[in-house]
Amino acid sequence: MSSVPERGEIDEQYKWDTDDLFVNDSEWEDSYEQAESLIEELEEYEGRVTEDAETLLAALRHSEQTMRTVSNVVTYTRMKSDEDTRDQQYQALSARAQSLIADARSAAGFIEPEIQTLTETDIEELIDREPALEQYEQYFDDVLRLKPHTRSTTIEQLLADFSDVTDAPGEIYTMLTNADMEFPAVEDPDGNAVEITLSNFTTLQKNPDRTFRREVYESFYDEWESVRNAIGAAYKKSVTADVKQARAHEYETAREAKLDGTNVPLSVYDTLVETVNDNLDTLHKHLELKRDVLDLDELRMWDVYMSLTGNESPTVTYEQARSYVTDAVAPLGEEYQSRLAAGLDARWVDVYENVGKRSGAYSSGTYDTQPYILMNYQDDVTSMFTLAHELGHSMHSQLAKETQPYVYSDYEIFVAEVASTVNETLLTHHLLETVEDEQLRRHVLDQYLERFRSTLLRQTMFAEFEQRTHEIVEDGGALTPDRLDELYGGLKRTYLEPAVVDDRIDREWMRIPHFYNAFYVYQYATGISAAVAIVDQILDDDRPDAAKQYRQFLRSGSRDYPLELLQDAGVDMQRPDPIETTFSTYEEYLGVFEQLT
């Protein structure tokens, strides 16, 4: 019998309060019908958006009302479906909602191309005639700056129609790896057959039995060898699609095209890769420490995921985690701390696992609702850090939507991971400063050290791989599976120098789904760097305004471009300084762990 409870067995205080969205499905249906009407009415503005200031304002406001309504409809069905993925009713409603949002985006597709027919002078004149348009100045600037890379309406529509084709490599990869591939079963230390899956591979690599870890590792990567040609072809076509779409929009490279979407210069990417490579010795110290703590003659690829603590996490209940996280964010100011505590009391969080509930964790919500956090809390250190992480996202969203109009209430992924990692960093600092339990301190340190390895270092290695694969295609080279093995294996040997890197790990590129959405993973590495640098300033007695600047950053949403927002918070991601600060913190915590052991 499963020990996981049914949803009805969980106390209401540990479930999110969806009444803030819709009290029942009947209210949802009413909103769905309203959204359909708004979409139909929006199409009446096509061809008229720029005819005068009043029409432009009306079109923008109608588009916002449409998207706000659709967002509520989509979010409700996703949340209800995630509560119990077995529920066919909400799966059906979710499918309807996804169709609705596709219709809304299609209906609004004419607005920005029509705005791009204007000049900056035209925009200024329209604002003079209708002062209410002034709040859209940043939006207009963002739309117009992409004008040189926007083709005619006919060509843009043709490119959009081909998205099903250009997205095909990623879809084929997903179906192949999730539906068609079957990994072998391996006998665990207790004599039970354990089937390897994409989901449990990393967990199995943390098993204390080294022989078992090796068998899992070798069986897993041997299976990838059987599909290398299919996955190699899929990835080659994905890279080729990126390159051709960039050229269609008159960019020199695919990397430039992807980064220009958020107005991030290539120098930020280059600075990250160069600075990380200059500081790989810190990662090497981490790996050497792991080898020594695990008492190994040599660190092999099946040892890399192992914890430095070597035992199960101490128990951290949800109530304890709430207390720890709330106390940890005190340096951000009383207002931030009290708002976070109030959010926890207001049932922002769907806490515990129940039968059928979606796995993992995320922060959600809409402009018209409180934030919502899905978790599957497991009474351990990892769950506590997940709570801190998602609360960072939720507080960012809450403060932004309270301060900004709808058009600027969201934020780019470049800054999204900053807020979540600031909370994790503050939690680490707080626990190390206040907790006397040595076992808990070691687990906290190990958790945070692994964050540096997996987020700062691993994601940068991925970013370097993506850059090189796209350069090969852009230079007219052949992107064969053998070439991909050679390229990826070379990076692994550089990054993991103290470990023994065998040929099987050369195939790891085949199991990374992120590569089918190129040039976004680097933002996880820049995010942790910006976050650690911000916390360093907040905890510095000589920077009394740092917390205030950070809170203003959270309130700014997308009022400005990501780099400018971070500069206002005291961090310049075009310089190596934040990344250097992060490596200094990484090395400092390695030293603390060595002292504890």
Quickly count: other Cβ atoms within 10 Å of residue 316's Cβ. Answer: 23
Q: How far apart are CA 509 and CA 461, in angstroms?
A: 11
Quickly count: other Cβ atoms within 10 Å of residue 489's Cβ. Answer: 19
Antiparallel, parallel or unpaired: β 185-187 and 193-195: antiparallel
Please say if 390 is a catalytic residue: yes
Quickly count: other Cβ atoms within 10 Å of residue 124's Cβ. Answer: 13
Q: How far apart are CA 277 and CA 462, in angstroms?
A: 13
What is the per-residue DSSP string for 111-133?
A: HHHHHTTS-HHHHHHHHHH-GGG
For 500, which DSSP code? B
Q: At 458, list the tokens.
A: 């691993």
Quickly count: other Cβ atoms within 10 Å of residue 379's Cβ. Answer: 15
349 DSSP β-pair partners: 373
Q: At 38, list the tokens.
A: 């708004």
Antiparallel, parallel or unpaired: β 362-364 and 372-374: antiparallel
Length of the chain: 597
Q: How far apart are CA 565 and CA 559, in angstroms?
A: 8
**Crossing angle of helices 88-107/53-83, nearest 10°?**
160
Catalytically annotated residue among 215, 390, 466, 508:
390
**Taking a C-beta distance cutoff of 8 angstroms, is the pair 385, 427 a contact?**
yes
Q: For residue 204, what are the contacts with CB-CB under 8 A and spacing of at least 6?
A: 186, 194, 196, 212, 213, 216
Q: Three-class SS of residue 300?
A: strand
Q: At 331, list the tokens.
A: 């340096």
Q: At 148, list the tokens.
A: 């040189």
Residue with tokens 């007695």: 541
Q: Which of 174, 173, 196, 200 is nearest to 183 (CA)?
A: 196
Q: For residue 474, what are the contacts with CB-CB under 8 A and spacing of at least 6?
A: 243, 253, 254
Q: For residue 133, what are the contacts with CB-CB under 8 A and spacing of at least 6?
A: 53, 56, 57, 60, 126, 127
**Taking a C-beta distance cutoff of 8 angstroms, is the pair 294, 310 a contact?**
yes
Catalytic residues: 390
